[in-house]
Amino acid sequence: MLFLCLAVVLFNTGRTNGLSFHSFGNEFEYIATEMNESLVNFDTSAVKTSWMRQPVNHFDPIDTRTWKMRYFQRHDMWKPKKPIYLFLGGEGPASPVFLKTGIMYDLANETNGAMFASEHRYYGKSKPFQNFTSENLAYLSARQALADSARLLKLIKSMPKFRSSKVVVVGGSYSGNLAAWMKLLYPELVDAAIASSAPVLAKKYFYEYLETVSDDFEQYGPAGCWDKIAAMFSRYEKLFQSDDGIETLKVEENICDSCDMSKSENRELFFMEKASQFMYRAQYGNPGVIKDYCESNFTSNFRKVKNQNLIWNERSECYYYDFDEMIVSIRSIDWLTAWIYQTCTEFGYFQTGSSDDQPFTKNISVEFYYRMCTKLFGPDFNEERVDRGVRDSNKLYGGLKPNVSHVVFVNGDMDPWSRLSVLEDLSYESPAKIISQSSHCRDLFSDRESDHEELKDARAYIRYLIKDWIGEGNYKKP
């Protein structure tokens, strides 16, 4: 979600008072970076940056305040009466890379389509307010963002040249939710949708996330890997049970002397950071990545896992686990504040360690996330508020059974987020596609030489479905 998603709490750009907080960031950051690496000598003049006025509140006609939403467009491949493709922005800055490569680009190239990419309100440069107070964040929701996209599509369709064009929306992770929900709430505007790795079920206790990480390492790691993980985390847990053990752990893990590791929330930060190494590789990796990590005794690097340690004190050159300092740093990172607000008010998605079917112990509790919500946004953002948001989201959008047609739900079977997605066909016109040995949002990329055949075949199947649904037929089914 997508990511991000809130698999862990911080990304590697936050710095406050000499503290660096590290995690793996949002989906768009990761996907856009990897897609960009495949581009060579792209003519950037083909993509235009545009802005559109949007209401602060679509659902209050008395509120006349507006703000400017950023979006990108590219029309050089378009021919009259051909389709419109819109890549929906998610929990991070929008990127023009989705108009240069990837499955949407491939579809536009094959059908002479026009391409657009929107930026989600409160992310990137599309900010209704500069100050992210709880009061100002009240207008941040999927429902408001969907209304933004609907107004953008209406603007596009008002242009004479696009009036007869079919509309396809595309999204991955949280924006994959939005793609499916656009077809649900605005069927008159959207003809087809790709919902990639979309966790459409809002859920408070997302214990299944670590279960899937566990399954990935058990299935693809060499013999004994899972047991080594379990032994390592069990030892951490045992050391935290005594003062001497904590001192031993501080020396071994280079934890700052001033850290009070007797506090439960600081211990949970430690376990979250340690588990995030495995979470990242399950969410974005492949069987080879997992095998290499196990064989390296959990030291090998993987893409953007740079200094994949939650807190580093540059002055003292030690790791500093402090919940209150974490809250301060989150407030300095707008996109992260915004995404946590959405999890606290709409989706939950709290990856806890409450399951017995995983080796990372039970030292990441749902109470940790409640404390984060109330510390960031105020006492009203408590468990009851989370429960209400989760309930309302599933009621509005339909959870795992959204009432949609002409939407394809795509998931990699390695992806922990797939546990909240549609994995069985809803109908003949709303199929689910599961790709073996594949991770988060891999179907959104263009084919690469290193991709296995099932992944390439899945992309061909998705393109076939979309072209069939929008009347660009006469294509052989893969």
Residue 465 has pLDDT above 70, yes or no: yes
DSSP conformation letters of 292-347: HHHHTTS----TT-SS--SEEETTTTBB---HHHHHHHHHT-HHHHHHHHHIIIII
Segment 194-209 shows an average pLDDT of 97
Task: Say what the pLDDT of residue 381 is.
Answer: 98
Segment 88-102 shows an average pLDDT of 93
Domain extent at residue 282: 14-21+204-379
Structure-derived torsion over alpha carbons of residues 24, 28, 31, 34, reported in degrees to the nearest 10:
-80
Q: Is 171 among the domain residues?
A: yes
Same domain, residue pair 192 and 208: no
Residues 6+ apart with CB under 8 A from 161: 80
Same domain, residue pair 271 and 373: yes
Q: Is 270 among the domain residues?
A: yes
DSSP annotation of 173: T
Q: 11 and 24 in contact (C-beta within 8 Å)?
A: yes
What is the rounded CA–CA span in Å between residue 330 and residue 344? 14
Same domain, residue pair 232 and 336: yes
Q: How many domains does the chain have?
A: 2
Residue 11 has pLDDT above 70, yes or no: no
Q: Is 385 among the domain residues?
A: no
Same domain, residue pair 214 and 231: yes
Structure tokens at 382: 């408590």
Task: Say what the pLDDT of residue 473 is.
Answer: 72
Residue 310 has pLDDT above 70, yes or no: no
Same domain, residue pair 162 and 276: no
Q: Residue 2: which region, alpha, beta or left (left: phi > 0; alpha: psi -120 to 50)?
A: left
What is the rounded CA–CA span in Å between residue 371 and residue 361? 20
Q: What are phi and psi of 205, to 5 degrees?
A: -85, 95
Same domain, residue pair 144 and 210: no
3-state helix, strand, coil in the chain (%, to 5): 45, 15, 40
Alpha-carbon distances of 5 from 194, 195, 439, rounded to whole Å: 19, 16, 14
Rounded percentage of the chain residues whose pLDDT exceeds 70: 88
Q: Decide which of 379, 409, 432 is a domain's last residue.
A: 379
CATH number at residue 449: 3.40.50.1820
What is the rounded CA–CA span in Å between residue 463 and residue 457? 10
Task: Say what the pLDDT of residue 300 is.
Answer: 80
Task: Determine the straight-line distance between the first and last CA of the chain, rounded to whole angstroms.
Answer: 29
Task: Say what the pLDDT of residue 31 is.
Answer: 67
Q: Is 27 among the domain residues?
A: no
Question: Which residue(s) pair with 73 in the sheet?
Answer: 48, 116
Same domain, residue pair 279 and 370: yes
Segment 304-327 shows an average pLDDT of 73
DSSP conformation letters of 141-159: SHHHHHHHHHHHHHHHHTS
Q: What are phi and psi of 104, to 5 degrees?
A: -70, -40
Segment 422-437 shows an average pLDDT of 97
Segment 450-474 shows an average pLDDT of 93
Q: 300 and 292 in contact (C-beta within 8 Å)?
A: yes
Q: Is 387 among the domain residues?
A: no
Strand 114-118 to strand 192-196: parallel, antiparallel, or no bridges (unpaired)? unpaired
Q: Is 478 among the domain residues?
A: no
Same domain, residue pair 323 and 344: yes
pLDDT band at residue 36 under the 50/70/90 scheme: low
Average pLDDT, the chain: 90
Largest CA distance in the chain: 74
Q: Decide which of 379, 410, 443 is a domain's last residue.
A: 379
Same domain, residue pair 336 and 425: no
